[in-house]
Amino acid sequence: MKKQVLLLILLVISGLTTAYAQSSCTQGPLAPAAGSPYTYTVTVNNPPFNGTTGQYTWYVTTNVDLLNATGVVPNNGGEIIASGTYNAPAAGQNSIQITWTAQAIVNGMTNPYYLVIKFAGNNGGFCDAMNMKVWQVKPINKFLLAINVYNGTDKYCAAPVSSATVTPGATPTVNYQYGVNTLYARVTPKNYTGNWVPSFKIDGMDPVQTLSSVSWSTDSLFTTSHSTTIAGNIATSTDPHSAMFDGSAKLYLKIDVDNHYFETLADLALAIGVDGVINVGATTLNDVKSETDCTDEVPFGKSLPVIIKARPTVTPDPATGPFITKNP
């Protein structure tokens, strides 16, 4: 009777102890957030197989028939960005780095991705053998926004009086205009790829006050600014932000509040809210609540409190008589 030789290739999945038990908001290699690179590594039993000279083939597919070329996701095709040799044998490449995109999040809502690793090597000089393993990967939406002070303060002095015009007559009146207060904020987005559209909301304004201008820039000097469309106290960007943030890039916000005839005789507490959406085809991804809660944030749920400090109240000495009446 012929002796049968058992060829065993052991692929150990490194760094993944809860492969399919991750919560819907637990970020990791099998539940990746868009824009963050993840490294996937395997170990081959050595000896008898030489992991340095053996051939590793890495690829992502959406086909449940893992050996069927139909369904293999192309590198840099909009869903993944793989660093290293992809979908081709590479000697000694026992790991690969993959960045998943917002497009992958949307596609993964319907069908999961399968990350395949195939290893082929020589069994101690006896024969060549191949084995393969697969992970299931479902990217998750962890698009987060944070809003903070930009210039080191959340307090602003009331703007100087910009005009004071008397209407003469038997009972003269004077129209005071109290200038424009410019407020700033810094927004940090993370866990996304591609374009996102920012919107901003300013709560707490007096009914007399209006937003005269709201703009944003990718540099703190506002060398190039992006405009917004203003409706009441909400400003929506007229174009998306097209850069890929890595969590360290910032978006700088400039808000001009026209006080008109609002005098600001008491401190005025405002809140600057930020909202963001990623449009992937017909699907919209909203920013989420937190690192541990991936449900959609309420509109403008991330906000920064700021204060416009009161201007001085000036009253006449009764012996001198009243000031000219304000109008309005």
pLDDT at residue 243 in the model: 65
Let me know whether 83 and 168 are in one domain. Answer: no
Let me know whether 180 and 243 are in one domain. Answer: yes
- Is residue 1, in this structure, part of any structural domain at all? no
- Is residue 5, in this structure, part of any structural domain at all? no
Q: Cβ of 162: how many Cβ atoms within 10 Å?
A: 13
User: String of b and e for 42-65 (b: at least 16 CB within 10 Å)?
Assistant: bebeeeebebeebbbbbbbbbeee
Distances (CA, A) of 259 to 91, 163, 164, 199: 68, 12, 14, 22
Let me know whether 102 and 129 are in one domain. Answer: yes
Q: How many residues in total does the chain contain? A: 328
Let me know whether 164 and 51 are in one domain. Answer: no
CA–CA dist 123, 229 (Å, integer)? 67
- Is residue 184, in this structure, part of any structural domain at all? yes
Q: Which CATH number does the domain housing residue 45 bear? A: 2.60.40
Let me know whether 215 and 298 are in one domain. Answer: yes
Let me know whether 166 and 120 are in one domain. Answer: no
Let me know whether 107 and 122 are in one domain. Answer: yes
CA–CA dist 193, 299 (Å, integer)? 21
Residue where one domain finishes, among candidates 103, 137, 171: 137
Let me know whether 64 and 210 are in one domain. Answer: no
pLDDT-flagged residues of the chain (< 50): 1-22, 245-247
Q: Which CATH number does the domain housing residue 289 bear? A: 2.60.40.1510
Let me know whether 52 and 130 are in one domain. Answer: yes
Which amino acid is it at 249? A
* Residue 7, Ramachandran bin (φ over 0: left; ψ between -120 and 50: alpha; else beta): beta
Q: For the chain, how many structural domains are there in total? A: 2
What residue numbers bound the domain in which 213 lies?
A: 144-317
Residue where one domain finishes, among candidates 137, 169, 201: 137
pLDDT at residue 250 in the model: 84
Let me know whether 75 and 189 are in one domain. Answer: no
Residue where one domain finishes, among candidates 102, 137, 172: 137
Let me know whether 167 and 65 are in one domain. Answer: no
- Is residue 235, in this structure, part of any structural domain at all? yes
pLDDT at residue 12 in the model: 43
Let me know whether 66 and 163 are in one domain. Answer: no
